[in-house]
């Protein structure tokens, strides 16, 4: 079974030949690593981060030093004045810890409020809690993905355990007004905890947790060209969480198991790079985003942008739909041309169902079904984007030409 699959995959990979250029735009699902972050990871494995940070010997203290520096680095990047950082092994784990950990710590509050466009690593734990007797309310969003603040306000009462809204939506790039969300929640009930999934926001938009009244926030390393398999949860002082996994000794009581210091050190380096180049990187990602969006809309018929425009859209997000062009077929055609994108959200794309995000913003089925998601990065140049655009124009034409009539 595995043997067959492997040989099929090998044949698929070999069918690709040698494209003129390769452009990786699937930064939603996984990213390239900064060279400096990779060097930091290797250095940590070889020299300074192989010890267990809870053990009293030199390699242990050296790992602990790296761990504490990484926590400081993240806290300072998000301008948090108080609070703690817990490193996990992914953004998914950070979101699960936030939701399940809160529910375990405060079982007398039984209502969980999330937006209808949250990432599956927020949506699924909330649904799991629903099976365990909690009530889950989904806040509707408008056609650009902004949450309905009146609806949110109506849901807040002394039963409400938490509100979870992503700072930036991973699929359509909606930059939520976290200040307004926090004001609505605090106004109705200061005890309701506010969580934001900030995996897509770190390095893309200014975050100031010193000013924002956000209690908990999740982050993921690969979103900022750090190693994969590392995430973090910021928890404001005074917020009670319970661990959701149990076992091995760790310096972090909320996340047992030996800390992945080399990946954390790489994450910390990537944070440093994003912090030092924050304005330049944002400008660069935005410029490349606009070249790509502008080119698509002017050169391809029946192409539609999903999500907001201008400054209310994430600087890196390009989510477009092409009528009569199935998203999955387009990712394969583009892959053969050296351009790597995903169709909607990777998690949902495997089911070939349109993403719940596009359906929540009321995109018609045929538009939702023909969507692809791309993200620009500071590691891209204009030539990459021009190449991707040229290939996209040809790929859409080809997929449309072979699509059976009446099938999107
Ligand atoms: C908004 C958002 N939250 C959470 C995650 C999950 O992070 P990870 O891939 O590190 O598990 C992702 C995905 O990459 C994401 O886009």
Name the residue with tokens 């109705």. 188
- Distance separating alpha carbons of residues 111 and 114, to the nearest angstrom: 10
Starting at the earlier edge strand, list the strands of the sheet with 135-139.
84-88, 231-235, 216-220, 193-197, 160-164, 111-115, 135-139
338: left (phi over 0), alpha (psi -120 to 50) or beta: left
Whether ligand 1 lies within 6 angstroms of the CB of 196 is answered as no
Distance of alpha carbon 79 from alpha carbon 45, whole angstroms:
29
> Ligand 1 centre from 91 Cα, in Å?
5
Q: How far is the CA of 96 from the centre of ligand 1 (A)?
A: 11
| Any domain includes 289 | yes
Mean pLDDT of 259-274: 98
The residue nearest atom 5 of ligand 1, judged by CA position, is: 91
Alpha helix stretches (DSSP H) within 15-119: 35-43, 58-77, 91-105
Q: What is the pLDDT of residue 7?
A: 85
- How many domains does one find in the chain? 2
167 and 271 in a common domain = yes
**Quick check: CB of 204 below 6 Å from ligand 1?**
no
Q: Is 166 exposed, middle or buried (0-12, 13-18, 19+ CB in 10 A)?
A: buried
| pLDDT score, position 404 | 73
Any atom of ligand 1 within 6 Å of the Cβ of 155: no
Q: How far apart are CA 213 and CA 208, in angstroms?
A: 9
Domain boundary residue, one of 276, 292, 326: 276
268 and 362 assigned to the same domain: no
In ligand 1, the atom with minimum distance to the C-alpha of 200 is: 1
Residues 40 and 179 in one domain: yes
- Residue 380 predicted with pLDDT over 50: yes
Distance CA 215, CA 163 (A): 10
In a domain, 241, yes or no: yes
Is residue 302 within 8 A of residue 371, CB to CB? The reply is no
Measured distance CA(152)–CA(137) in Å, rounded: 9
Q: Which atom of ligand 1 is nearest to the CA of 29?
A: 14
Asked if the structure places residue 307 within a domain, the reply is yes
Write down the catalytic residue from 347, 360, 388, 389: 347
Q: Looking at the predicted structure, is the pLDDT value of residue 350 above 90?
A: no
What number does the ligand 1 atom closest to the CA of 230 have?
Answer: 10
Q: Rounded to whole angstroms, how far apart are CA atoms 168 and 355?
A: 16
* DSSP-derived pairing of the beta strands 317-322 and 160-164: unpaired
Average of per-residue pLDDT across 330-345: 91
- Residue 406 pLDDT > 80: no
Are 179 and 320 members of one domain?
Answer: no
In a 10 Å sphere around its CB, with 0-12 CB exposed, 13-18 middle and 19+ buried, how is residue 157 labelled? Answer: exposed
Q: Is residue 361 part of a domain?
A: yes
Ligand 1 nearest atom to the CA of residue 118, by list position = 1
- Kindly report, residue by residue over 9-39, the tens digit of the pLDDT: 998 898 888 899 999 999 999 989 999 999 9
Model pLDDT, residue 407: 52
- Tokens 């807040």: give the residue: 156
- Max Cα-Cα span within the chain: 69
Structure tokens at 32: 């390239």
Confidence band for 272, pLDDT divided at 50, 70 and 90: very high
CATH number, domain at 39? 3.40.640.10
Rounded to the nearest integer, the mean pLDDT of the chain is 94
CATH number at residue 386: 3.90.1150.10
CA of 199 to the centre of ligand 1 (A): 6
Which of 203, 202, 238, 230 minimizes the C-alpha distance to 217?
202
pLDDT over 70 (residue 348): no
Q: Could you tell me if 170 and 225 lie in one domain?
A: yes
Q: Which of 31, 92, 174 to mutate to test the pocket of ligand 1 (most atoms within 8 A of CB)?
A: 92
Spatial separation of the C-alpha atoms in residues 282 and 280, rounded to whole Å: 5
Ligand 1: centre distance to CA 9 (Å):
25
pLDDT of residue 15: 86
pLDDT in tens, 123-151: 999 999 999 999 999 999 999 999 999 99
pLDDT at 349: 46
Q: Is 269 contained in some domain?
A: yes
Residue 163 main-chain phi, psi, to 5 deg: -120, 130
Asked if residue 53 has pLDDT above 90, the reply is: yes
* Cα–Cα distance measured from residue 293 to residue 325, given in angstroms and rounded to the nearest whole number: 17
Domain final residue, candidates 247, 276, 305 = 276
User: Does 145 fall in a domain?
Assistant: yes
Average pLDDT over residues 312-339: 96
Q: Is the pLDDT of residue 5 over 90?
A: no
Asked whether residue 207 falls in the same domain as residue 321, the answer is no
CA 323 – ligand 1 centroid, Å: 28
Question: 210 and 327: one domain?
Answer: no
How far is Cα 321 from Cα 326, in angstroms, rounded to an integer? 9
pLDDT at 156: 98
Regarding whether 112 and 231 lie in a shared domain, the answer is yes
Pick the closest to residue 182 from 160, 215, 222 (CA basis): 215
Nearest to 174 by CA among 368, 360, 9, 299: 360
In the residue annotation, 347 being an active-site residue is answered as yes
| 279 neighbors 287 (Cβ within 8 angstroms) | no
Task: Please indicate, yes or no, whether residues 272 and 304 belong to a single structural domain of this protein.
Answer: no
The mean pLDDT of 340-357, rounded to a whole number, is 72
Given this model, what pLDDT does residue 127 score? 97
Residue among 223, 224, 348 to mutate when testing ligand 1 (max atoms within 8 A of CB): 223
- Beta strand 317-322 with 135-139: parallel, antiparallel or unpaired? unpaired
- 7: in domain: no
Best residue for ligand 1 mutational test, from 26, 172, 199 (most atoms within 8 Å of Cβ): 199
Report the candidate in 346, 100, 78, 375 with the shortest Cα–Cα distance to residue 236.
Answer: 78
Least confident of 4-8, 98-102, 313-317: 4-8
- pLDDT over 70 (residue 345): no
Q: Is 374 helix (H, G, I), strand (E, B) or coil?
A: strand
Reported as a single tens digit per residue, the pLDDT across 167-208 is: 999 999 999 999 999 999 999 999 999 999 999 999 999 999
Q: Where a domain ends, among 236, 260, 276?
A: 276
305 falls within a domain: yes
Identify whether residues 252 and 272 lie together within a single domain.
yes
Q: Do 284 and 217 belong to one domain?
A: no
Structural domain for 226, as ranges: 35-276
DSSP state of 47: I
> Mapped to the 3 state alphabet, what secondary structure does 229-246 carry?
CCEEEEECCCCCCCCCCC
Q: Phi and psi of 44, rounded to 5°?
A: -65, -40
Residues with Cβ within 8 Å of residue 181, at least 6 apart in sequence: 147, 149, 152, 163, 165, 194
Q: Dihedral sign, CA of 345, 351, 354, 357?
A: negative
Judgement on whether residues 364 and 264 belong to the same structural domain of the protein: no
């Amino acid at each position: 079974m595995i043997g067959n699959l492997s040989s099929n995959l090998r044949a698929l990979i070999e069918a690709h030949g040698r494209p003129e250029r390769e452009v990786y735009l699937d930064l939603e699902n996984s990213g390239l690593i900064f060279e400096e972050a990779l060097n930091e990871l290797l250095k940590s494995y070889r020299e300074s981060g192989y010890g267990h940070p809870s053990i009293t010997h030199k390699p242990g203290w050296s790992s602990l030093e790296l761990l504490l520096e990484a926590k400081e680095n993240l806290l300072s990047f998000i301008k948090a004045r108080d609070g703690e950082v817990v490193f996990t092994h992914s953004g998914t784990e950070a979101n699960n810890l936030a939701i399940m950990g809160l529910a375990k710590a405060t079982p007398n509050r039984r209502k969980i409020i999330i937006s209808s466009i949250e990432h599956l690593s927020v949506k699924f734990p909330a649904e799991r809690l629903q099976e365990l007797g909690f009530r889950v309310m989904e806040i509707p969003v408008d056609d650009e993905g902004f949450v309905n603040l009146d609806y949110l306000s109506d849901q807040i009462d002394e039963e409400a355990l938490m509100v979870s809204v992503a700072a930036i939506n991973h699929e359509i790039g909606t930059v939520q007004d976290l200040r307004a969300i926090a004001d609505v929640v605090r106004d109705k009930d200061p005890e309701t905890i506010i969580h934001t999934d900030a995996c897509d926001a770190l390095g893309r938009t200014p975050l100031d947790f010193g000013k924002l009244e956000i209690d908990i926030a999740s982050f993921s390393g690969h979103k900022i060209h750090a190693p994969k398999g590392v995430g973090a949860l910021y928890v404001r002082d005074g917020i009670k969480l319970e661990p959701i996994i149990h076992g091995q000794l760790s310096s972090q009581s909320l996340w047992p198991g030996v800390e992945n210091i080399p990946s954390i050190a790489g994450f910390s380096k990537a944070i440093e790079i994003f912090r030092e180049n924050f304005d330049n990187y944002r400008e660069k990602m935005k410029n490349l985003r606009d070249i790509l969006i502008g080119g698509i809309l002017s050169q391809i018929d029946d192409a539609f942008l999903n999500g907001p425009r201008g400054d209310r859209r994430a600087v890196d997000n390009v989510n477009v739909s092409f009528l009569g062009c199935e998203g999955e077929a387009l990712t394969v055609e583009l892959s053969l041309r050296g351009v790597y994108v995903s169709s909607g959200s990777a998690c949902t794309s495997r089911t070939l169902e349109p993403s719940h995000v596009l359906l929540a913003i009321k995109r018609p089925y045929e538009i939702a079904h023909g969507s692809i998601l791309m993200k620009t990065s500071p590691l891209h140049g204009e030539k990459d984007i021009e190449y991707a655009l040229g290939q996209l124009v040809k790929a859409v034409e080809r997929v449309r030409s072979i699509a059976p009539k009446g099938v999107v």
